[in-house]
Amino acid sequence: MKNLFAGLPDDQTQEHFQEFLALPGAKLERIVSYGQSTPEGEWYDQDWGEWVMVLQGEAGLLLEQDHTLIHMKPGDQYFLPANCRHRVEWTLEEQPTIWLALHLKAD
């Protein structure tokens, strides 16, 4: 996967998680969303830090703590420390939303 905007998956009925670089302390992943969101009532709660950025499209990232809803547009980035409970409230339905996610090993 040389280019992160290219080769988007055809199947738009689900989100696609594609890890493209795995190193001892970190891994990089492209996530392509076609209007999906985290299932109702579910939260991501991870033992590792995750940095995310939106490359294309838009999304709503909700943090459980203080109920902050972050509207993410292309170029927007945010760091989620380990155990920062969060969910994706929505992604654009009109076009793919492409995320770049960096997962960092817990120390």
Structure tokens at 57: 């499209």
3-class state of residue 14 by DSSP: coil
Using the rule CB under 8 A, give the single segment among 35-43, 58-66, 72-80, 89-97 that binds its own copies: 72-80
Kindly state whether residue 6 participates in binding its own copies, applying the rule CB under 8 A: yes
CA dihedral angle for residue 4, residue 95, residue 44, residue 67, rounded to 10 degrees: 130
Under a CB-based contact definition with an 8 Å cutoff, are residues 75 and 57 in contact? no
Q: Which of 14, 68, 77, 95 binds its own copies (CB under 8 A)?
A: 77
From residue 17 to residue 56, the character string flagging contacts with its own copies as x (rule: CB under 8 A) and all else as - is: ---xx-xxxx-x--------------------x-x-x-x-
CA dihedral angle for residue 9, residue 11, residue 17, residue 22, rounded to 10 degrees: -40
For its own copies, the closer CB: 23 or 40: 23
d(CA 57, CA 4) in angstroms, rounded, equals: 13
User: In one letter, which amino acid is 53?
Assistant: M
For its own copies, the closer CB: 77 or 83: 77
**Residue ranges binding its own copies (CB under 8 A):** 1-6, 20-21, 23-26, 28, 49, 51, 53, 55, 73-79, 100, 102, 104-105, 107
